[in-house]
Chain A
């Protein structure tokens, strides 16, 4: 039945304009929206990739192709070892083994259809239509096989006990994530695999199957070490849950074993000697690259305008400082989850810990905004307004990167598409007791912020920066995005703590009854 709300004057309020999409059930509407999502991904794939036509180093695309070349031609133990055939200074592998295995499988596919794109040495800098096509197909297939099913799993579990009117909107928000599409299918990366595994792990948490959570999250960690952004949330939530059981030690042991077994299976080739293991670890954490690179909107890079961190401290001490800062930033949400774990709080915890890592971690890239952004899409129904702004600023923080890759048109189009779909059905939020909107001048501040960012868009594209400060505009963009991210992080932390007090008081009421 269509949900038409007939008010007194006879006009129909658009409460559920998309009921025709979701009337056949969640899975069918998911299928329909995923077809559209795949269409958009295929269309974006036609645009250039990172480092297209820029010898000698090219970009991420060449890195991934090179890894396929290395993994299909050398034995596993040599993949992370510097050698005559594997020159680690030319895009050496710097992700954990699961990425290497995935490169191996994709490399075999490429070798079957186009051998010269992965032949040892001679394929360096190889750029051809068929090579690009095959690489794009590998990303599309990984997305469809790993990210989409996990997203379906999450949506089914999350919307189990909720009104079905907003499922379609939520699915669209998750699948039409503009940042992920632009980075994976434009710039060229495989974030969909690690993010898909993470989403699967999150769904497993909501479902209550903790062993599955551990397995999936360990796999995600073994694909990209950046998944560790979510580790505090997982750890604190599972610990909190275990502590409430009758036999906490046993539960913890079960989970620990699941993690260790998965870890051993994936890292098997590198566990034969301590040297091998450390060799891989050293590739994963390239500390010599410094605390930040380029112009990413995190704490270290933004404050380096005033405080020259790299000059004041040595790299090892910066390592410790950033570690301390990250732990401190994620501590509130961790503590909250250990003492009062809940599914809803867990989702907030994910957002908090990933924001903390993004803001304070060592060697953060612009692309790392994908991690907090994913957590935000999962929470989109709860924080719709802030989610809208986060999307805008997350995309804006990657704007210089995307312009370098000639991805301006997809950037604008996906932004347009996101705005259209976001506004097609705005979810109703309960008025919270505290909201930033009640601050005087908040709306004015937000609007000015937004206006400045629009101006910066145009300025970046049209005006040449002054000779003395060639990266002036990148720096301005970075400051603007950082200021938003900090406010956002504060808000989300506050919400999570507020959530627990509401939860606890409701709990107390139940006990009294």
Chain B
């Protein structure tokens, strides 16, 4: 049974790897050069200069474990082609060697995602397990962002999934340890830290005074040890302030150049709408110096009417949104539900966070570039596999239940509202990608983006509310 399961998982992973290999020559974003530069920095400079180097505009802004990871990779990079890790000569290097090297490191690092999914679904029954594996390993978002745009998210998510899997097994110490490790790779994952904190406190450390205190000390020392391993050298060099300022660049604006479909989209639209109506009514409303649609990232207030949003505001909002989840975790910490709570925490972080990147939308500057059908086909394929898988799952369950003589009402159906939304999504895409450029050309260039952001924001809000309801009930 185990061998058969591992076979199938490896099969899906190998098939996904084949597609990833074919995506090697596709469009690369600046993130590619960012990571190449980090290879160069960590290889050519001593530790004390990693967070200070400004040879390239793409400075190191991830926590130290990621820097150590790049250092590890740079060893192989130098073996392949020394120019990759050259700090000055390697700038914007785009020869075959560096493209292949970096792309293949991402493909290899996806093994951690495979491991995470494997561990997480160990106890789930066959069909469900295969479905989950396919949907995660073949996730179009991951394929587009990691293997086209270029990032290492699969690698990091693998560690996170491992951590969640240990929590679900009830082995909290290791789960907490792994989460601390993930945090030191990419601090973005800290959004779920409150959930982890409350859950571990309640589930692990709330066991009578002596045991509880012992466990608290154990957990605390593990976390401190991880952070010490990461930040230790920098604290020793007295550079911790520089590192922190690089990791948290609050000089950037509330929204990235292309709006992420989160809650702030509605806030911005409300602001613009109010400004427009107030101007029409005769009030003197100043046009803000900065603008959202200009694609700039800056610190000045871009809001005309509504109060300004500061990083603190977003922090508070995220915390407020996570609170129901924290209350549930405090009242009754269940290993089986912890995965759901962590996912909910990340949704809140996306929805209310500061300077959220929209990497999922990935606009291509050349119309109908070949990556566009790839994106569309990946999405369609994923949806179709999901639909086929779920209907198969439900018919399977139904058949089993009928065999046992019970009544089964479960049927996989997409409701009317949801169907309408999905059809609307297709329409929005057609309008913004084809109709708008055809009829209006370059005028009102912000309109398609605004339309997409708003529409997707509606969808994400819907999913957030659904998750919240699931948690509360």
Minimum distance in angstroms from A355 CB to a CB of chain B? 29
- Among residues of B, the one whose C-beta sits closest to the C-beta of A130 is B366
Q: Given the interface contacts A20-B389, A424-B11, does A35 sit within 8 Å of B380 by beta carbon?
A: yes
Q: For chain B, which range describes its interface: under 10, 10 to 19, 20 to 34, or 35 or more residues?
A: 35 or more
- Among residues of A, the one whose C-beta sits closest to the C-beta of B385 is A32
- Among residues of A, the one whose C-beta sits closest to the C-beta of B369 is A133
Complex formed: what's the CA distance from A38 to B374 in Å? 8
Complex formed: what's the CA distance from A409 to B369 in Å? 21
Minimum distance in angstroms from A267 CB to a CB of chain B? 35
Tell me the residues in window 415-430 of chain A with beta carbons closer than 8 Å to chain B beta carbons.
Answer: 416-417, 420-421, 424
Out of B11, B127, B381, B396, which one reaches A36, CB within 8 Å? Answer: B381
Interface size on A, residues (CB 8 A): 42
Minimum distance in angstroms from A374 CB to a CB of chain B? 22
Q: Are A32 and B381 in contact (CB under 8 A)?
A: yes
Q: Given the interface contacts A20-B392, A24-B391, does A44 sit within 8 Å of B377 by beta carbon?
A: no
Q: Are B19 and A43 in contact (CB under 8 A)?
A: yes
Q: Given the interface contacts A24-B391, A32-B384, does A409 sit within 8 Å of B21 by beta carbon?
A: yes
Tell me the residues in window 345-378 of chain A with beta carbons closer than 8 Å to chain B beta carbons.
Answer: none
Q: Given the interface contacts A28-B388, A413-B18, does A45 sit within 8 Å of B378 by beta carbon?
A: no
Tell me the residues in window 4-34 of chain B with beta carbons closer than 8 Å to chain A beta carbons.
Answer: 4, 8, 11, 14-15, 18-19, 21-26
Q: Are A39 and B388 in contact (CB under 8 A)?
A: no
Q: Which residues of B contact A24 (CB under 8 A)?
A: 388, 391
Minimum distance in angstroms from A15 CB to a CB of chain B? 13
Q: Is B395 an interface residue (CB 8 A)?
A: yes
Q: Is B368 an interface residue (CB 8 A)?
A: yes
Q: Is B213 an interface residue (CB 8 A)?
A: no
Q: Are A133 and B381 in contact (CB under 8 A)?
A: no
For A43, A409, A420, the residue with the greatest tally of chain B CB atoms inside 10 Å of its CB is A43
- What mask results when residues 369 to 397 of chain B are scored 1 for a CB within 8 Å of chain A, else 0? 11101100110110011001101110110
Q: Is B1 an interface residue (CB 8 A)?
A: yes
Q: Which residues of A contact B26 (CB under 8 A)?
A: 43, 46
Complex formed: what's the CA distance from A465 to B138 in Å? 42
Q: Which residues of B contact A1 (CB under 8 A)?
A: 396, 399
Q: Which residues of A contact B1 (CB under 8 A)?
A: 11
Q: Are A44 and B22 in contact (CB under 8 A)?
A: yes
Minimum distance in angstroms from A19 CB to a CB of chain B? 7
Complex formed: what's the CA distance from A42 to B27 in Å? 13
Minimum distance in angstroms from A314 CB to a CB of chain B? 47
Q: Which residues of A contact B14 (CB under 8 A)?
A: 416, 420
Out of B11, B369, B374, which one reaches A420, CB within 8 Å? Answer: B11
Minimum distance in angstroms from A399 CB to a CB of chain B? 18
Minimum distance in angstroms from B144 CB to a CB of chain A? 12
- What mask results when residues 6 to 36 of chain A are scored 1 for a CB within 8 Å of chain B, else 0? 0000011010010111011000110110011
Complex formed: what's the CA distance from A320 to B23 in Å? 48
- Among residues of B, the one whose C-beta sits closest to the C-beta of A38 is B377
Complex formed: what's the CA distance from A303 to B22 in Å? 38
Q: Is A136 an interface residue (CB 8 A)?
A: yes
Out of A2, A43, A140, which one reaches B22, CB within 8 Å? Answer: A43
Out of A130, A140, A414, which one reaches B373, CB within 8 Å? Answer: A140
Minimum distance in angstroms from B31 CB to a CB of chain A? 19
Q: Which residues of A contact B19 (CB under 8 A)?
A: 39-40, 43
Complex formed: what's the CA distance from A413 to B25 in Å? 13
Complex formed: what's the CA distance from A32 to B15 in Å? 15
Complex formed: what's the CA distance from A19 to B130 in Å? 13
Q: Is A137 an interface residue (CB 8 A)?
A: yes
- Among residues of B, the one whose C-beta sits closest to the C-beta of A133 is B370
Minimum distance in angstroms from B388 CB to a CB of chain A? 6
Out of B24, B369, B378, B389, which one reaches A39, CB within 8 Å? Answer: B378
Complex formed: what's the CA distance from A35 to B388 in Å? 14
Binding site secondary structure of chain B: helix
Q: Is A410 an interface residue (CB 8 A)?
A: yes
Complex formed: what's the CA distance from A2 to B131 in Å? 15
Q: Which residues of A contact B392 (CB under 8 A)?
A: 2, 19-20, 23
Q: Are B15 and A35 in contact (CB under 8 A)?
A: no
Q: Given the interface contacts A14-B4, A413-B18, does A43 sit within 8 Å of B23 by beta carbon?
A: yes
- What mask results when residues 35 to 79 of chain B are scored 1 for a CB within 8 Å of chain A, else 0? 000000000000000000000000000000000000000000000
Complex formed: what's the CA distance from A20 to B388 in Å? 7
- What mask results when residues 95 to 135 of chain A are scored 1 for a CB within 8 Å of chain B, else 0? 00000000000000000000000000000000001100100
Q: Is A47 an interface residue (CB 8 A)?
A: yes
- What mask results when residues 483 to 510 of chain A are scored 1 for a CB within 8 Å of chain B, else 0? 0000000000000000000000000000
Minimum distance in angstroms from A35 CB to a CB of chain B? 4
Q: Which residues of A contact B368 (CB under 8 A)?
A: 133, 137
Q: Which residues of A contact B399 (CB under 8 A)?
A: 1-2
- Among residues of A, the one whose C-beta sits closest to the C-beta of B399 is A1
Minimum distance in angstroms from A116 CB to a CB of chain B? 17
Q: Are A46 and B370 in contact (CB under 8 A)?
A: yes
Minimum distance in angstroms from B193 CB to a CB of chain A? 38
Q: Are B25 and A47 in contact (CB under 8 A)?
A: yes
Minimum distance in angstroms from A213 CB to a CB of chain B? 33
Tell me the residues in window 41-68 of chain A with beta carbons closer than 8 Å to chain B beta carbons.
Answer: 42-47
Q: Are A35 and B384 in contact (CB under 8 A)?
A: yes
Q: Are A136 and B370 in contact (CB under 8 A)?
A: yes
Minimum distance in angstroms from B147 CB to a CB of chain A? 10
Complex formed: what's the CA distance from A412 to B24 in Å? 13
Minimum distance in angstroms from B367 CB to a CB of chain A? 9
Q: Which residues of B contact A46 (CB under 8 A)?
A: 22-23, 25-26, 370-371
- Among residues of B, the one whose C-beta sits closest to the C-beta of A21 is B388
Q: Are B395 and A42 in contact (CB under 8 A)?
A: no
- Among residues of B, the one whose C-beta sits closest to the C-beta of A136 is B370
Minimum distance in angstroms from B27 CB to a CB of chain A? 9
Q: Which residues of B contact A40 (CB under 8 A)?
A: 19, 22
Q: Which residues of B contact A414 (CB under 8 A)?
A: 18
Tell me the residues in window 378-430 of chain A with beta carbons closer than 8 Å to chain B beta carbons.
Answer: 409-410, 412-414, 416-417, 420-421, 424
Complex formed: what's the CA distance from A409 to B385 in Å? 27
Minimum distance in angstroms from B149 CB to a CB of chain A? 15
Complex formed: what's the CA distance from A95 to B392 in Å? 48
Complex formed: what's the CA distance from A475 to B375 in Å? 42
Complex formed: what's the CA distance from A38 to B372 in Å? 12
Complex formed: what's the CA distance from A424 to B4 in Å? 12
- What mask results when residues 238 to 260 of chain A are scored 1 for a CB within 8 Å of chain B, else 0? 00000000000000000000000
- What mask results when residues 393 to 418 of chain B are scored 1 for a CB within 8 Å of chain A, else 0? 10110010000000000000000000
Minimum distance in angstroms from A14 CB to a CB of chain B? 7
Q: Are B374 and A42 in contact (CB under 8 A)?
A: yes
- Among residues of A, the one whose C-beta sits closest to the C-beta of B392 is A20
Tell me the residues in window 345-382 of chain B with beta carbons closer than 8 Å to chain A beta carbons.
Answer: 366, 368-371, 373-374, 377-378, 380-381
Q: Are A23 and B381 in contact (CB under 8 A)?
A: no
Q: Are A38 and B22 in contact (CB under 8 A)?
A: no
Q: Which residues of A contact B366 (CB under 8 A)?
A: 129-130, 133
Q: Are A35 and B381 in contact (CB under 8 A)?
A: yes
Q: Given the interface contacts A32-B384, A38-B377, A140-B373, does A23 sit within 8 Å of B24 by beta carbon?
A: no
Q: Are B374 and A39 in contact (CB under 8 A)?
A: yes
Complex formed: what's the CA distance from A417 to B21 in Å? 11
- Among residues of B, the one whose C-beta sits closest to the C-beta of A13 is B4
Q: Which residues of B contact A19 (CB under 8 A)?
A: 392
- What mask results when residues 318 to 339 of chain A are scored 1 for a CB within 8 Å of chain B, else 0? 0000000000000000000000
Complex formed: what's the CA distance from A344 to B68 in Å? 63
Q: Which residues of B contact A21 (CB under 8 A)?
A: 388
- Among residues of B, the one whose C-beta sits closest to the C-beta of A412 is B21
Q: Which residues of A contact B23 (CB under 8 A)?
A: 43, 46
Q: Would you give 6 A-B contacts (Cβ < 8 Å), ordered by A?
A: A11-B1, A20-B127, A38-B377, A39-B378, A417-B15, A421-B15
The 3 closest A-B pairs by CB, nearest first: A20-B392, A43-B22, A39-B377
Not counting A12-B4, A46-B25, a sample of 19 additional A-B residue pairs whose C-beta atoms are within 8 angstroms of each other reads: A2-B392, A11-B1, A20-B389, A23-B388, A32-B381, A32-B384, A38-B373, A38-B377, A39-B19, A42-B373, A43-B19, A44-B22, A45-B370, A46-B26, A46-B370, A133-B369, A137-B368, A413-B22, A420-B15
